[in-house]
Structure 1
Amino acid sequence: MRQSTLDILRRATGTTVLCQQMALLEEEVARLHQVPRGAPPQPALDRIARYADFPLQTWWERSLWEPVVQLAVRDHVRPGDIAFDVGANAGAFAMQMSRQAGPRGTVCAFEASPRIIGRTQHNLLNAACHNVTLYHRAVWNRSGDFVHIAEGSHLNDRVETGAGGTPVPTLALDDFIAATGLTPSFIKMDIEGAELDALRGSARLIAEGRPIMALEQAPDDMRCHELLVAAGYLAMDLGSYRRITRGEDFANPTGVNNVLFVPEEKASASPYFDPRQEMVAKLEACAFTRDAAGGARLAQPMDLPAGRYLVRADFSASGRDNEVYAGVDADGETVFRYHTFTAFMAECYRDWVVQLDRPGRIAPFLRFLNGSDATLDWRGAEVIRLPAFDNVAPPLIF
């Protein structure tokens, strides 16, 4: 295939430059796959990665990309707002912010990874996000330095000392705000462990701008929490809607969590810090059908009025050689979904947050995509209503 492509290119105008680019591209693909140049073609090289290979759903379709963070964006970004997406990745949250902030709003998206940035750009342009400006910078504790980015297993690249590749310039948010005059009311930050450095470069913003923030947080590393609490913020786990004051407050002892940080002066008006939770139903294991692979689904969907609910699944599992979807369907459509293997699901992702904008019939489920798990012990689920969100209006325009 490569030879036929080169033959075509040789007959084209500017063939020298084109052939040079083809050779460079072949070398880069071979490096990524650790295949020596000139070796027989490998199946993994049959299809060269393109910017469009990691597309997002179109903006008018439902997205299941980190749904608990989507709800935080839904509740806090309004027409005309300024919002920052720090660690934009493929652009899902920048796209959501763009639609909600609207033509009078401004969204600043920051993505450090040289591997990901092209995909981010492609997806935002494809979604016509004209109010989003994308910056290829590593948000850090100071501006003007350079860091290296290590590639993760699934577009979760991170800053790492000694990593190879092209160095990426750093940017402190305080410097960015001073230069642009753009002070955000809401920030989503997920930069694979670099959040503390980013917060240290945002001291003026935190002290004076007082934005609401959704940050990724590990239960065994509370330094971001300590910094923001000292600055007068309160914290709530977006996965379980539990107030966080220490690491032990997290429902899962490992992994990472998305945490909402709200300034103390704004917390009294926030439904996220209203502790009321009303039990709607306790669904025993016998209420679920089980399929041949061991998956579970509520046999008779239950009717619920509009509102926000927490579905707390009760199960244990130790399987790792499998792939599952777990979440909630409403009126036949999946409205919340996690995607991982059963052991990790059981340890970290048994709380599922559902927003119903209209009355619906819900059915919690766990479905195997690949493999099974003989250790899966499905014991049912609880459905809990969060009444503080009854009067929280959805975005008028999206």
Structure 2
Amino acid sequence: MRQTILSFLRRATGTAQLRQQVVLLEEEVARLLQAPRGQATSPSNPALERLARHADFPLQAWWERSLWEPVVQLAVRDHVRPGDIAFDVGANAGAFAMQMSRQAGPRGTICAFEASPRIIGRTQHNLLQAACHNVTLYHRAIWHRSGDFVHIAEGSHLNDRVESGAGGIPVPTLALDDFIAATGLMPSFIKMDIEGAELDALRGSPRLIAEGRPIMALEQAPDDMRCHELLTAAGYLAVDLGSYKRITRGEDFANPTGVNNVLFVPEEQTAASPYFDSRQELVAKLEAGAFTRDAAGGARLAQPMELPAGRYLVRADFSAQGRDNEVYAGVDADGETVFRYHTFTAFMAECYRDWVVQLDRPGRIEPFLRFLNGRDATLDWRGAEVIRLPAFDSVAPPLVF
């Protein structure tokens, strides 16, 4: 049995990184197989534990609802259609590549790029588990030029980033213009979230931006508008996917700190885009008294609110200062969570009080904030507004998913 396992692992090697992982796995397999029957064992090598656990941060099954960055999911939902070419730059665990794969279908092509040596195994595992046959995964750092090497610093979560002086195995760089020239694949939609390297990636894409004119969903910090300046100079307009508010300067963001997901659309396409229709209709103003409060201080709408199908912005009104707790906040519809953020109350109050909900059928909604751990005596829950976005009434959902 031992020889069969080790022989399979050796045949699977193809890069220095994989060989390193295989050596670690061989050592652990040998140790486990030599342990007396029934004896408890645990990984003795921290590097093995970090590299080998591909099931860490598993994704939901493709037929189940995903709550992974729901505002970006809606942008993918609205822009990737059967037969499309789409890029997922910074694929992370693979959630958006999976979504793009299902929406683009058998005639579509999805190119996913993940630079982190620590994360790439998880990405590969999840995409294979979901049978994403139309996705090709590339272990490259998208950069302003091809052929360089960068080092990736490990983040506190799955948020590894390019960092000068970081250790580990160097990762080759790739400019998107070079990739497109080599493959002939010009995307109509790009999701890009590469932990601060977005500007370098855009600098390596002048032909893509000028000729391909893809719609892009980028992560951006309000205090760093360089990506915004580059793309607006190229004829793009921007909208905050968290609040559906036009962004022309840093002060336009609803949350002044952290990062935001921004949709950039070529100006010539904005007339037909519901994201640039400024109509917002107030449906209801729910006062604090309309919510029940639990023992930990969480809030939930006491009587579910009936809404027709459509897209809504639920704008929660609360303040909080707690940092030693853990909360879920979002919206349930007909007993199922359809939108959810997950953090601590101070950060939630500062950055995540706008919740975008898509109802594909009439439903009974319940906005909520629920403590998972701890509590917050400073939480001041003042209620919520429910706002309808009528421009999205004409946007058809994906035909298949």
Fold shared per TM-score above 0.5 = yes
Q: 1:32 — aligned with what?
A: none
Q: 1:331 to 1:13 in 2, by over 3 A?
A: closer
In structure 1, distance between residues paired with 2:365 and 2:44: 42
Q: In structure 2, which of residues 301, 317, 326 is the aligned counterpart of residue 323 of structure 1?
A: 326
Q: 2:307 — aligned with what?
A: 304
What secondary structure does 1:99 align onto? helix
Q: 1:250 — aligned with what?
A: 253
Query: For this pair of structures, how many residues does the alignment match?
Result: 375
In structure 1, distance between residues paired with 2:398 and 2:200: 32
Q: Provide the aligned C-alpha RMSD in A.
A: 2.2
Equivalent runs, 1:94-243 vs 2, <5 Å: 94-243=97-246
Deviation >2 Å, runs of 4+: 8-14, 20-26, 40-45
What secondary structure does 1:343 align onto? helix
Q: 1:355 — aligned with what?
A: 358
What secondary structure does 2:112 align onto? strand
8 Å CA contact 2:114–2:138 kept in 1: the answer is yes
**Aligned-pair CA distance for 1:12:** 9.4
Q: 1:265 — aligned with what?
A: 268
1:286 partner letter: G
What secondary structure does 2:261 align onto? strand
In structure 2, distance between residues paired with 1:237 and 1:199: 19
Q: 2:389 — aligned with what?
A: 386
Q: 2:293 — aligned with what?
A: 290
1:64 partner letter: L
8 Å CA contact 2:153–2:161 kept in 1: the answer is yes
Q: 1:179 to 1:387 in 2, by over 3 A?
A: same
Which structure 1 residue ranges, 5 or more long, are not aligned? Answer: 1-7, 27-39
**Deviation digits for residues 17-67 of structure 1 (CA, Å, limit 9, x no counterpart):** 99x9358867xxxxxxxxxxxxx979996x935112221000000000000
In structure 1, distance between residues paired with 2:358 and 2:6: 56
Instruction: State whether structure 2 residue 399 is matched by structure 1 residue 366.
Output: no
Q: In structure 2, which of residues 61, 80, 83 is the aligned counterpart of residue 80 of structure 1?
A: 83
In structure 2, distance between residues paired with 1:12 and 1:354: 47
In structure 1, distance between residues paired with 2:351 and 2:284: 22
Q: 1:21 — aligned with what?
A: 23
In structure 2, distance between residues paired with 1:142 and 1:253: 32
8 Å CA contact 2:6–2:26 kept in 1: the answer is no
In structure 2, distance between residues paired with 1:321 and 1:213: 35
In structure 2, distance between residues paired with 1:146 and 1:58: 35
Q: 1:31 — aligned with what?
A: none
In structure 1, distance between residues paired with 2:394 and 2:256: 33
In structure 2, distance between residues paired with 1:10 and 1:87: 37
Q: 2:281 — aligned with what?
A: 278
2:140 partner letter: R
In structure 2, distance between residues paired with 1:366 and 1:255: 20
